[in-house]
């Protein structure tokens, strides 16, 4: 009897010839299927055969599966016939009758899709709507399509929908006009035909559609960015070495997003992005934490883990540089320094543009180049955003303000929970000599709002769950030093003699922190668990002590695990090694 694995979104059909057969985001072994579903673990489940019987074995505690409508956290016997397995946002058919399996899965698959046609994003569509759009010509074979919850992997429509046999190849090579871009230093040429995601408006575009930024003074004024900016244009004339020429013959080296017209670092087009979003109510410590953690990453990541962490190019990272300078780079480090409260319209971390006749606020991230890593071959761009706490309040709609949209598709979300803003924790705080205080705020509302937005805008059919890991950090943990774990060694040398993240030790820290929160602020911990299957509770302190209301003296700053959320994110992506378990 043969067993089959069928999945329609993404389209995969496998006759299983070798057991165990492994499924996950990054499964092991030769007999395996990889599914890029963030609601799944790297190693989600295995099908094993014991004495002729096939069993489903869930390999992770985090994401239970539903098999034929019943939740399975461990093992289940699969009788011959057909079974529908739902895990993450993916629907899978496993069984012995291939045709019946395909029919059953297509009935069950209600995954949502987005598509891009003529510069516009369409969707979310169900699988049936996607097929319809292909049949009635809205989408063509090579239209770009992606899952609403994961726009980092973009497919051509023909990879997901059956368009019938390939048409006869026509010679299109002669018609295509050659376009290429060269980096400013005339280094690597960026290949066309690939996609990139704009870090400002989050639109996925073909690299070939990227605009150039004019340089000639007479071409000042842009339709989207306003009078003060050079116009953006689709280049048709180039210098011999491939640089675009503007209408006045000026040689242009800068490029811009075809949708929001924001200038984009050229290097970004050649690199995979790792997006980190920091979320928290006003005064939770986001800006201070970013300053401290990025400063720590610059110092520690190469030294400890062999991962280079530096500005992609200093021109792009003005706000984070200014934050870091305040806290860590002062001539007189005994003078009080203050990072200003981030304003809703703050011009350092956001910018207003005119998109399709509507005024919209876009975030301006900082970019970091990561290199080296576990096998020495990593080159990624870490994209980091800061926001004002008020941006996350219910009603701050993502359509008018795209400043928080990155959170929904970020690779990891760092939620900073401020113990000094919860009246129940205040009596327990050890404030030392510091006088800084914060207003009482309902912080779990923000988490619930985040999950609701994720559902609304990302087509998260699974309900309230986020798709990416949630790092629930108790910020300002210096004030809870006696109640939360702090003196734990989280980095350990692995068998290869390299420093690695100790997953078991991290799990202990997380469990201890979680049980403290369960005892003191139970509904906050419960809301966090409610919206995430992959959640870690970490105590962090950007400053290591409680500062004065008027500011902090740089010489007093002793960060505690400030780099940890970054180390975690890089370890989860295989860039930093792990010991005692996997993430």
Ligand X SMILES: Nc1nc2c(ncn2[C@@H]2O[C@H](COP(=O)(O)OP(=O)(O)OP(=O)(O)O)[C@@H](O)[C@H]2O)c(=O)[nH]1
Nearer to Zn ion, 78 or 213 (CB): 213
CB of 56 to Mg ion, least distance (A): 46
130 versus 259: smaller Cβ distance to Zn ion: 259
Residue 369 interacting partner from Zn ion, ligand X, Mg ion, none (CB closer than 5 to 8 Å by kind): none
**x/- letters, 145..184, toward Zn ion (CB under 5 A):** ----------------------------------------
Residues that bind ligand X (CB under 6 A): 280, 282-288, 339, 341-342, 388-389, 436, 476, 478-479, 541-543, 546-547
Contact (Cβ atoms closer than 8 angstroms) between residue 214 and residue 246: yes
Number of helices and strands in the chain (H, E): 10, 39
Nearer to ligand X, 120 or 549 (CB): 549
Binds 351, which of Mg ion, ligand X, Zn ion, none (CB < 5 to 8 A, cut-off by type)? none
In the chain, what's the furthest Cα-to-Cα distance? 79
Nearer to ligand X, 27 or 547 (CB): 547
Q: CB 479 → ligand X: shortest distance, Å?
A: 5
| Comparison of 146 and 392: residue with beta carbon closer to Mg ion | 392
Nearest by Cα to 212 from 263, 270, 267, 177: 263
In whole angstroms, the minimum distance from the beta carbon of 292 to Mg ion comes to 13
23 binds, among Mg ion, Zn ion, ligand X, none (CB under 5 to 8 A by kind): none
Task: State the Cα–Cα distance between residues 151 and 26, nearest whole angstrom.
Answer: 18
Number of residues that bind Zn ion (CB under 5 A): 6
479: partner contacted, choices Mg ion, ligand X, Zn ion, none (Cβ within 5-8 A by kind): ligand X
Distance CA 196, CA 207 (A): 6
**Strand ranges (DSSP E) for 173-325?**
181-182, 189-190, 195-197, 204-206, 211-213, 220-222, 226-230, 232-233, 244-245, 251-252, 255-256, 263-264, 272-279, 307-311
- For residue 102, CA distances in Å to 23, 31, 420 come to 18, 21, 54
358: helix, strand or coil: strand
Concatenated DSSP letters of 507-574 = HHHHHHHHHHHHHHSHHHHHHHHHH-SSEEEEE-BSSSS--BTTBB-GGG---BSTTHHHHHHHHHTT
201 binds, among Mg ion, Zn ion, ligand X, none (CB under 5 to 8 A by kind): Zn ion
In terms of Cβ atoms closer than 10 Å to its own Cβ (0-12, 13-18, 19+), residue 507 is middle
| Distance set, CA 315 to CA 137, 318, 336, 365 (Å) | 44, 6, 27, 12
Query: Would you count residue 196 as binding Zn ion (CB under 5 A)?
Result: no
Please identify, among the stretches 201-209, 317-325, 352-360, 551-559, the one whose residues bind Zn ion according to the rule CB under 5 A: 201-209
Alpha-carbon distance 274 to 564, whole Å? 15
Cα separation, 28 vs 44, in Å, equals: 10
Segment interacting with Zn ion, rule: CB under 5 A, options 256-264, 268-276, 288-296, 455-463: 256-264
Q: Which is nearer to ligand X, 124 or 283 (CB)?
A: 283
Q: Looking at 243, 259, 284, 436, which residue binds Zn ion (CB under 5 A)?
A: 259
Query: Out of Mg ion, Zn ion, ligand X, none, which partner does residue 190 contact, by CB within 5 to 8 A per kind?
Result: none
Q: Is 564 in the site for Zn ion (CB under 5 A)?
A: no
Q: x-or-dash pattern for Mg ion, window 286-325, by CB under 5 A?
A: xx--------------------------------------
Closer of 80 and 226 to Zn ion (Cβ): 226
- Using CB under 5 A, pick the residue from 200, 309, 415, 537 that binds Zn ion: 200
Q: How far is the CB of 214 from ligand X (least distance, A)?
A: 35
Task: Tell me: does residue 198 bind Zn ion (CB under 5 A).
Answer: yes
Select the residue interacting with Zn ion from 201, 284, 312, 480 (CB under 5 A). 201
Kindly tell me which of 184 and 336 has the beta carbon lying closer to Mg ion. Answer: 336
The answer to whether 152 and 194 are in contact (CB under 8 A) is no
Q: Quick one: 245 or 320, whose CB is closer to Mg ion?
A: 320
- Distance spanning both ends of the chain, measured CA to CA: 36
Q: Indicate the angle between helix axes 318-328 and 286-305, nearest 10 degrees.
A: 90
Residue closer to ligand X by CB (options 341, 519) is 341
Give the sign of the dihedral formed by CA 134, CA 135, CA 136, CA 140. Answer: positive
Which is nearer to ligand X, 245 or 282 (by Cβ)? Answer: 282
Angle between helices 564-572 and 286-305 (to 10 degrees): 60
Q: Are 531 and 451 in contact (CB under 8 A)?
A: yes
Q: How far is the CB of 553 from ligand X (least distance, A)?
A: 12
Sequence-ordered strand ranges (E) for 280-418: 307-311, 350-355, 358-363, 366-372, 378-385, 412-417
Q: Which of residues 323-342 bind Mg ion (CB under 5 A)?
A: 342
Q: Which residue ranges make up the site for Mg ion (CB under 5 A)?
A: 286-287, 342
Q: Which residue ranges make up the site for Zn ion (CB under 5 A)?
A: 198, 200-201, 257, 259-260
């Amino acid at each position: 009897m043969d067993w089959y694995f069928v999945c329609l979104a993404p389209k995969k059909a496998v006759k299983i010839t070798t057991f165990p057969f492994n499924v996950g985001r990054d499964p092991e072994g030769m007999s395996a299927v990889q599914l890029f579903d963030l609601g799944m673990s790297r190693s989600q489940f295995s099908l094993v055969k014991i004495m002729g019987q096939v069993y489903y074995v869930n390999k992770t505690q985090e994401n239970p599966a539903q098999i034929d409508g019943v939740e399975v956290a461990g093992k289940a016997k699969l009788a011959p016939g057909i079974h529908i397995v739902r895990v993450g946002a993916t629907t899978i058919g496993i069984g012995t009758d291939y045709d019946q399996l395909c029919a059953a899965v297509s009935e069950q698959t209600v995954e949502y899709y987005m598509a891009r046609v003529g510069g516009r994003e369409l969707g979310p569509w169900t699988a049936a709507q996607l097929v319809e759009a292909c049949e009635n010509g809205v989408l063509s074979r090579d239209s770009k399509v992606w899952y609403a919850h994961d726009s980092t992997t973009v497919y051509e429509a023909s990879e997901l929908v059956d368009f019938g046999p390939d048409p006869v190849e026509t010679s299109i090579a002669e018609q295509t006009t050659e376009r290429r871009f060269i980096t400013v230093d005339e280094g690597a040429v960026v290949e066309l035909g690939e996609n990139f995601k704009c870090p400002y408006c989050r639109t996925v575009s073909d690299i070939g559609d990227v605009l150039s930024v004019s340089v000639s003074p007479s071409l000042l004024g842009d339709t989207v960015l306003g009078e003060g900016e050079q116009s953006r244009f689709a280049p048709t004339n180039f210098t011999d070495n491939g640089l675009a020429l503007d209408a006045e013959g000026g040689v242009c080296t800068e490029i811009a997003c075809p949708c929001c017209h924001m200038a984009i670092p050229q290097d970004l087009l050649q690199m995979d992005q790792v997006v980190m979003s920091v979320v928290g109510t006003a005064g939770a410590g986001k800006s201070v934490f970013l300053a401290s953690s990025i400063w720590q990453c610059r110092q520690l990541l190469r030294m400890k883990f062999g991962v280079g962490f530096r500005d992609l190019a200093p021109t792009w990272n003005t706000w984070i540089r200014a934050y870091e300078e305040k806290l860590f780079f002062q001539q007189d480090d005994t003078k009080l320094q203050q990072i200003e409260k981030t304003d809703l319209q703050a011009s350092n971390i956001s910018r207003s543009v005119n998109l399709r006749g509507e005024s919209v606020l876009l975030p301006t991230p900082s970019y970091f180049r990561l290199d080296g890593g576990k096998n020495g071959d990593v080159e990624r761009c870490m994209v980091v955003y800061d926001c004002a706490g008020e941006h996350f309040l219910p009603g701050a709609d993502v359509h008018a303000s795209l400043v928080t949209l990155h959170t929904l598709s970020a690779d990891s979300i760092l939620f900073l929970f401020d113990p000094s803003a919860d009246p129940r924790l205040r009596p327990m705080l050890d404030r030392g000599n510091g006088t800084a205080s914060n207003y009482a705020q309902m912080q779990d509302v923000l988490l619930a709002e985040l999950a609701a937005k994720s559902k609304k805008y990302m087509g998260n059919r699974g309900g309230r769950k986020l798709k990416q890991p949630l790092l629930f950090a108790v910020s300002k943990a210096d004030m809870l030093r006696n109640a939360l774990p702090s003196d734990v060694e989280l980095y350990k040398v692995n068998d290869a003699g390299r420093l690695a993240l100790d997953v078991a030790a991290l799990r202990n820290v997380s469990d201890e922190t979680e049980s403290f929160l369960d005892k003191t602020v139970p509904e906050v911990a419960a809301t966090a668990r409610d919206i995430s299957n992959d959640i870690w509770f970490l105590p962090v302190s950007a400053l290591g002590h409680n500062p004065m209301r008027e500011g902090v003296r740089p010489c007093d700053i002793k960060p505690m695990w400030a780099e940890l959320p970054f180390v975690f994110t890089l370890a989860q992506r295989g860039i930093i090694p792990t010991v005692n378990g996997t993430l």
